[in-house]
Amino acid sequence: MRDVAVIAFAQDIAEHDRERNEVEFVIPVVRDAIAQSGIDRHDIGFTVSGSCDYLSGGPFTFVQGLDAVGAWPPIKESHLEMDAAWALYEAWVAIQVGDVDSALIYGFGKSSLGDVHEIFNLQNDPYSVMPLWPSTVDLAALQACAAIAANVTNEREMAEIAARDRRAALANLHAIAGRDVSADVLLGEPVTHAPLRDADIAPITDGAAAIVIAAAEIANHACERPAWIRGIEHRIEPQSMGVRDLTRSESTRLAAIAADVGGGPIDVAELHTQFSHEEPILRVALGLGPETEVNPSGGPLGANPIMSSGLIRIGEVASRIHSGSVHRGVAHATQGPCLQQNLVCVLEGERN
Amino acid sequence: MTEVLVEKHVLEYPGGYTRSVGPVIGRFLTGLRDGRIEGVRGSDGKVLVPPTEYDPYTAQATGEFVEVGPCGVVTAWTWVAQPRVDKQPLDHPFGWALIRLDGADTSMLHAVAVDGPDALSVGLRVQPRWRTERIGSIRDIEAFVPEGSEPLVIPEPAPDAEPVTGIVTPTRLEYEINAGTAPSKYLLGLAQGKMIGQRAVGSDQVYLPPRGSDPTSGEATEIEVEVADVGTVTTYCVVNVPGLSETSPEIPYVCAQILLDGANTPWFGLIQGLAADEVRMGLRVKAIWADVLVANAASVKWFEPNGEPDAPYESYREYA
Amino acid sequence: MAGIRTAVVGVGQTRHVSARHDVSIAGLVREAAVEALEDAGMDWGDIDAVVIGKAPDMFEGVLMPEMYLADALGAANKPMLRVHTAGSVGGSTAIVAAKLVMAGIHKRVLTVAFEKQSESNATWGLTVGMPFQAPLVAGAGGYFAPLIRAYMARSGAPRHIGHLVAVKDRLAALRNPKAHLHLADIDLKMVEESFLLWDPLRYLDVCPSSDGAMALVIGSEDVADAAPGPAAWIHGTAMRSEPTMFAGRDQINPQAGRDCAADVYAQAGITNPREDFDMAEVYVPFSWYEPMWLENLGFCAEGDGWKLTEAGATAPDGDIPWNPSGGVLSSNPIGASGMIRFGEAAQQVRERAGDYQVELKTGLALGQAYGGGSQFFSMWVVGNQKPE
């Protein structure tokens, strides 16, 4: 395998942005990430994005996104209808094949245009679930109920996670739901989607993010402390919630083993937890101990731009490696109802 | 701050999606219509409810059907305080539950009709409440209710009814779409009877309509350039296919790419004022503005010949 | 070509029809996948990863349907990817799958592309009315017909050229039992008398709307060597994209297509495509796109594409058969159509094309797909011999 590193990361996040369209979110993050990378725009080997037509309400959303990239002369380009964390995986594969040495990855979406929790009902089984119209939050709440019933977590632990993430988000310029709050205060707030409180649920967020990755010969010049991708793996599970054990994340566990999360100490973990109860489930699946700091950015509970939120987890770990504040970390991305599909990426700085 | 434009948008396939369901789901739905709940055996012999056509873990086709329920036990629940009344099964607050029906090894999602969340718990026994009108749908069960809380009525199968082979699924979604900063400037120009394109710093290429960036460079198109409402037909087609929207023009109509003088990208517009078979590449046309100007392309009703001689092919070749 | 040697070792597809009322979405994709697995001599457990492609989710009204399809495609606890690159998606999906093997990450990848267009209406799905956009163009034909007119003006091609392609591909389809359209009486007169939809396109110049799925099993060299059937070795893959609209963009003969072809030819050692290939499966949804793509793909000089078509060079018995399967003009489940091109090219070099098998000389074939406003291209070259 070729050594590949994250060398640049940019994000642009807003709450209910009524000025900019999707392209106008992508323009600055792509420009910023490419500028950080030091690579000339025309020398980027491969470009790949993640977006979702149903978020924007019409087909071919990614075609407009391409306008922000400057795809001229023509570029090697691909698009996944997936969170852009998976686009990063496709880019990493392209570099592994060996015909390109660098890649631009971006994800974007405006979750505020429609009722995003309702829209994602269309992701459910079209015959036995979709006609009932459960919302994303409803299904997550069922998982939280199952996890509490199985003693995998409890309302206090969930409140502590939510409070920690909201406090951490205060220090993150890109977060929108920062709040100086304690678990005790949250536990006094109403349960809105039993057993979830509003603070347990990620905020509706608009945004875009971009990352540049490169093979070693470029990365070592582009970046003082490249964030090396030591393992990147993803797995999916059957969708039916009644078939899966909702109190565990088997796909995360398998991806974590394959990515060798346990191959060294994990200083930091950025987890794509759109609901607070998901963190205890994922900690078990990833084998994280108390020494690992989770979601120092505030995580998705601080800002959750759908289609780039998973990519941002990779960027948040990478930027901490770039700054030298951590040595080894794990990023996690998810999509599908109740953690159906999960990606795990282990990032590491060069050991001095 | 520029005024930005927001419009409501409904995404809905007219009449709803027509889903054929295949034999396994079809038998499940036929059972529901007839007041019966059936699962299938998976590869390991466990009974899957609702049935899946393929084993979730081995991918082998599932096998024998097994009647289950009708009662079962709640394995997880939540509470919906504000139902989406146009979509969800009940028009008053209700619970969702994963319900393991008697004889099943997996749980099924459905609504539970109770007065409040205090009436729900893991382990609660429930029974179905069937709808009177059943069509072969997961919604033929209106909801589950606590076991024994009301008489359990098992419907009689309709005599001689055909097996269910399909369902119709309405999927109305509502959005508020914002045009974006750059398109808003252009659209507000239309409301004043002006064609306002944009270009990026360092480029002479004027985009109309602008989308926010020069797609060849990715640079924002921050400079506004008013262009003429007169231009050249670079190419066109005569459309004989009726549009699906109420505002679609009557057929046949001519749809053309029109390069407005001063712009570098074509505008897609209707051509009127001459017979369809007289429209030609190179035709010089002018915009006919609507009586009431609005901030969208409807401000231009169509284009008509402006009487100038046709533009020579070479003048627009690179645009066609 | 970069990466390790990789081949198509299994091919499966549904019979394409206007509406498969007898199956669910999962049932449709399964048919293609099971056939591909059987062809490869594999079972579900042998597959390392699954890559799915399709066009916009609004066709079926299922958002990211691959999530629900994970069970049906044996993806439980495996990696799964979902590609969406407009009309080129079937080709792009096969390339994404192939790269997983070329990179040495997986040995056996199942890739599936599908569309079940009968769940809604393709014209609606392609042109959902959005705010701030004028609802002028009805369907893809309204977009492409003006470009065809511009091609005619540029090349001087006579009006009947498109109709020749419409007849040729429908005649070819009569030999392909899986093709959607089987028009036994097709002739020039029938095309010329068909309804004028988007002048200059008549009804029979246009592809049908189909339900269908295509599946490939892609394997590494050792897997291909051990496979029960012949392999279609991948000699090159390429993708290129350019923006929809910019000043001076050549929409008729797009640079992205020319660059994509140059890239894939360089990988495969192709210097004269008309001679070096035994055949090509090319995405021709409107009849006129055969001469246009003949030029774009370098099978002739610019302006001469229609002359090859007129001379019968691209017919099944011509010197360079194009779309002997009947092509997109005979079957068009949109999301699958690109992969069908790639898979049909593979079947030809495997000598598995049945009644529409061409004679192999070089043993090399081209698969091409395009999408969007002629702006997304994907191509591969497959051969019956291992690449050097």
One domain for residues A240 and A122: yes
Does any CB of chain C come closer than 8 Å to the CB of residue A66?
Answer: yes
One domain for residues A69 and A209: yes
**Residue B222 Cα, gap to closest chain C Cα (Å):** 16
Query: What is the model's pLDDT at position B252?
Result: 86
Which residue's entry shows tokens 């959750």?
A304
One domain for residues B155 and B186: no
Other beta carbons within 10 angstroms of residue B145's beta carbon come to: 18
One domain for residues B184 and B145: no
> Which residue segment(s) compose the domain that A87 sits in?
4-114+204-227
The radius of gyration computed from the CA coordinates of chain C, to the nearest angstrom, equals 19
For A174-207, letters b (16+ CB in 10 Å) and e give bbbbbbebebeebbeeebbbbbbbebbbbbbbbb
- pLDDT per position as a tens digit, B161-185: 899 999 999 999 999 999 999 999 9
C344 in Cβ contact with C353 (< 8 Å): yes
Banded model confidence at residue A306, pLDDT cuts 50, 70, 90: very high
Portion 22-61 of B in contact with C at CB < 8 A: 22-25, 52-60
- pLDDT per position as a tens digit, C125-152: 887 778 887 655 666 788 899 999 999 9
One domain for residues B137 and B231: no
pTM above the 0.95 mark? Answer: yes
One domain for residues B193 and B297: yes
One domain for residues A305 and A276: yes
One domain for residues B190 and B314: yes
One domain for residues A157 and A91: no
- Asked if residue A296 has a cis previous peptide bond (ω within 30° of 0), the answer is no
Instruction: Domains for chain C: give ranges and CATH numbers.
Output: 6-122+208-226 (3.40.47.10)
Query: What is the model's pLDDT at position A350?
Result: 85
B268 in Cβ contact with B244 (< 8 Å): no
Which residues sit opposite A53 in a β-bridge? none
- Say if the Cβ atoms of B76 and A149 lie within 8 Å: yes
> Which residue segment(s) compose the domain that B69 sits in?
17-169
For B5-26, letters b (16+ CB in 10 Å) and e give bbeebebebeebbbbbbbebbb
- Say if the Cβ atoms of C26 and B53 lie within 8 Å: yes
B199 in Cβ contact with B182 (< 8 Å): no
Count helices and strands (H / E) in chain A.
Answer: 13, 12
One domain for residues B101 and B80: yes
Which subunits count as partners of chain C given 3+ CB pairs below 8 Å? A, B
A305 in Cβ contact with A207 (< 8 Å): yes
Q: Which residue of C has its CA nearest to A68?
A: C243
- Nearest alpha-carbon partner for A332 in A298, A282, A266, A284: A282
C148 in Cβ contact with C201 (< 8 Å): yes
- Say if the Cβ atoms of B13 and C248 lie within 8 Å: no
Other beta carbons within 10 angstroms of residue B132's beta carbon come to: 8
Q: Name the domain boundary from B113, B139, B169.
A: B169
- pLDDT per position as a tens digit, C239-292: 999 999 888 899 999 999 999 999 999 999 999 999 999 999 999 999 999 999
One domain for residues A263 and A156: yes
Per-residue pLDDT averaged across B22-40, rounded?
A: 97
Distance, CA of A117 to CA of C223 (rounded, Å): 44
Per-residue pLDDT averaged across A38-50, rounded?
A: 97
Q: Which residue of C has its CA nearest to A130?
A: C62
One domain for residues A217 and A315: no
Number of domain units in chain A: 2
Distance, CA of C98 to CA of C106 (rounded, Å): 9
B233 in Cβ contact with B282 (< 8 Å): yes
- Nearest alpha-carbon partner for A249 in A145, A340, A137: A340
User: Which residues of chain C lie closer than 8 angstroms to A96, CB-CB?
Assistant: 103-105
Query: What is the model's pLDDT at position C176?
Result: 98
- Say if the Cβ atoms of A132 and B109 lie within 8 Å: yes
Write down the H helix ranges in chain C: 25-40, 66-69, 89-102, 122-126, 139-155, 161-173, 188-192, 221-226, 255-268, 273-276, 289-296, 305-311, 334-349
One domain for residues B158 and B187: no
In this structure, the strands spanning C196-199 and B230-239 are antiparallel
Residue, of B320 and B161, whose pLDDT is higher: B161
In this structure, the strands spanning C376-383 and A102-110 are unpaired
Preferred mutation among A61, A67, A93 to probe C, highest tally of C CBs within 10 A: A93
**Residue C202 Cα, gap to closest chain B Cα (Å):** 10
Distance, CA of A93 to CA of A98 (rounded, Å): 9
Distance, CA of C181 to CA of A262 (rounded, Å): 56
One domain for residues A123 and A169: yes
Preferred mutation among B28, B41, B79 to probe A, highest tally of A CBs within 10 A: B79
One domain for residues A328 and A216: no
- Say if the Cβ atoms of C372 and A60 lie within 8 Å: yes
Would B3 be classed as within a structural domain? Answer: no
Q: Which amino acid is at A326?
A: V
One domain for residues A213 and A344: no
Banded model confidence at residue C122, pLDDT cuts 50, 70, 90: confident
- Say if the Cβ atoms of A53 and C56 lie within 8 Å: yes
Burial of C130 (0-12, 13-18, 19+ CB in 10 A): middle
Beta-carbon contacts of residue B7 (< 8 Å; ≥ 6 apart)? B176, B177, B179, C131, C132
Query: What is the model's pLDDT at position B250?
Result: 79
CA A191 to centroid of chain Cα atoms: 26
Query: What is the model's pLDDT at position B59?
Result: 96
- Does the interface ipTM go beyond 0.90? yes
Would B1 be classed as within a structural domain? Answer: no
In this structure, the strands spanning A191-193 and A196-197 are antiparallel
Distance, CA of A8 to CA of A28 (rounded, Å): 13
Out of A192-206, A338-352, C103-117, pick the least confident.
A338-352
Beta-carbon contacts of residue B43 (< 8 Å; ≥ 6 apart)? B55, B57, B58, B60, B62
One domain for residues B287 and B239: yes
Per-residue pLDDT averaged across A23-46, rounded?
A: 96
- Say if the Cβ atoms of A149 and B182 lie within 8 Å: no
Which residue's entry shows tokens 């393709």?
C122
User: Which residues of chain B lie closer than 8 angstroms to A17, CB-CB?
Assistant: 178
Closest residue to B80, CB basis, from A31, A138, A240: A138
Q: What percent of chain C has pLDDT over 70?
A: 98
User: Which residues of chain A lie closer than 8 angstroms to C246, CB-CB?
Assistant: 72
**Residue A62 Cα, gap to closest chain B Cα (Å):** 13
A201 in Cβ contact with A177 (< 8 Å): no
C277 in Cβ contact with C362 (< 8 Å): yes
In this structure, the strands spanning B72-80 and B94-101 are antiparallel
Strand, coil or helix: what is A222? Answer: helix
- pLDDT per position as a tens digit, A65-106: 898 999 999 999 999 999 999 999 999 999 999 999 999 999
Per-residue pLDDT averaged across B143-172, rounded?
A: 93
Q: What is the mean pLDDT of chain A?
A: 97
- Nearest alpha-carbon partner for C211 in C27, C373, C72, C71: C27
One domain for residues B195 and B302: yes
One domain for residues B78 and B181: no
Does any CB of chain C come closer than 8 Å to the CB of residue A202?
Answer: no
Tell me the CA end-to-end span of chain A in Å, nearest whole number: 22
The dihedral sign for the CA sequence B17, B22, B28, B34: positive
For C279-304, letters b (16+ CB in 10 Å) and e give bbbbbbbbbbbbbbbbbbbbbbeeee
One domain for residues A154 and A165: yes
Preferred mutation among C57, C130, C136 to probe B, highest tally of B CBs within 10 A: C136
Per-residue pLDDT averaged across B133-146, rounded?
A: 97
- Nearest alpha-carbon partner for C68 in B89, A278, A241: A241
- pLDDT per position as a tens digit, A117-151: 999 999 999 999 999 999 999 999 999 999 999 99
Would B134 be classed as within a structural domain? Answer: yes
Distance, CA of C278 to CA of C258 (rounded, Å): 20
One domain for residues B196 and B246: yes
Where does B148-228 show beta strands of DSSP type E?
166-169, 173-178, 195-199, 213-214, 219-220, 223-227
Closest residue to B265, CB basis, from C21, C198, C246: C246
Per-residue pLDDT averaged across C153-162, rounded?
A: 96
The widest CA-to-CA distance across chain A, in whole angstroms, is 58
pLDDT over threshold 60, residue B201: yes
Q: What percent of chain B has pLDDT over 70?
A: 97
Query: What is the model's pLDDT at position B3?
Result: 75
Does any CB of chain B come closer than 8 Å to the CB of residue C196?
Answer: yes
Preferred mutation among B213, B214, B221, B265 to probe A, highest tally of A CBs within 10 A: B213
Distance, CA of B96 to CA of B100 (rounded, Å): 13
One domain for residues A93 and A216: yes
Where does chain A show beta strands of DSSP type E?
4-14, 46-50, 77-80, 102-110, 191-193, 196-197, 206-215, 227-236, 268-270, 293-294, 328-335, 341-348
Which residue's entry shows tokens 């993803």?
A234
C222 in Cβ contact with C107 (< 8 Å): yes
User: Which residues of chain C lie closer than 8 angstroms to A94, CB-CB?
Assistant: 99
The dihedral sign for the CA sequence C293, C294, C299, C301: negative
Distance, CA of C186 to CA of C208 (rounded, Å): 15
Query: What is the model's pLDDT at position C130?
Result: 82
Banded model confidence at residue B159, pLDDT cuts 50, 70, 90: confident
One domain for residues A222 and A241: no
- pLDDT per position as a tens digit, A192-238: 999 999 999 999 999 999 999 999 999 999 989 999 999 999 999 99
- pLDDT per position as a tens digit, C211-236: 999 999 999 999 999 999 999 999 99
- Pull the structure tokens for residue C8: 């198509």
Distance, CA of C15 to CA of C26 (rounded, Å): 15
One domain for residues B91 and B229: no
Closest residue to C130, CB basis, from A58, A98, A120: A58
Q: What is the CATH number of the domain that holds A98?
A: 3.40.47.10
- Say if the Cβ atoms of B97 and A126 lie within 8 Å: no
Would B116 be classed as within a structural domain? Answer: yes
- Pull the structure tokens for residue C182: 């089987």
Distances (CA, A) of C331 to A226, C170, C209, C312: 49, 10, 7, 22
Q: What is the mean pLDDT of chain B?
A: 93
Which residues sit opposite B37 in a β-bridge? B68
DSSP-assigned letter for residue C375? T
Distance, CA of C187 to CA of A156 (rounded, Å): 75
**Residue B171 Cα, gap to closest chain C Cα (Å):** 7
What's the CA angle centered on A184, arms A298 and A147, to 5 degrees? 70
C320 in Cβ contact with C293 (< 8 Å): no
The dihedral sign for the CA sequence A278, A280, A284, A288: positive
Q: Name the domain boundary from B169, B195, B217.
A: B169
pLDDT over threshold 60, residue A352: no
- Pull the structure tokens for residue B147: 């076991």
Strand, coil or helix: what is A340? Answer: coil
Number of domain units in chain B: 2
Distance, CA of C20 to CA of B6 (rounded, Å): 40
Which residue's entry shows tokens 């959607």?
C180
- Pull the structure tokens for residue A77: 């380009």
Backbone dihedral angles phi then psi of residue C219, each to the nearest 5 degrees: -130, 160
DSSP-assigned letter for residue B236? E
Preferred mutation among A236, A248, A252 to probe C, highest tally of C CBs within 10 A: A236
Does any CB of chain B come closer than 8 Å to the CB of residue C136?
Answer: yes
